[in-house]
Amino acid sequence: MQRQVALIKQSLFDQGYLDEQFMELEELQDDANPNFVEEVATLYFKDSARLINNIDQALERGSFDFNRLDSYMHQFKGSSTSIGASKVKTECTMFREYCRAGNAEGCLRTFKQLKKEHATLRKKLEQYFQASKR
Residues at the site binding another protein, with contacts judged by CB under 8 A? 21, 24-25, 27-28, 30, 33, 36, 39-40, 43-44, 47, 71, 74-75, 77-79, 81-84
What is the longest distance spanned by two Cα atoms in the chain? Answer: 50
3-state helix, strand, coil in the chain (%, to 5): 85, 0, 15
Count the neighbouring beta carbons within 10 Å of the beta carbon of residue 121.
24
Q: Which of 70, 71, 74, 76 is nearest to 53 (CA)?
A: 76
CB of 118 to another protein, least distance (A): 14
Residue (37 or 59) nearer to another protein, CB: 37
Residue (22 or 128) nearer to another protein, CB: 22
CB of 3 to another protein, least distance (A): 27
- Beta strands of the chain (E only): which ranges? none
Residue (28 or 119) nearer to another protein, CB: 28
CB of 6 to another protein, least distance (A): 22
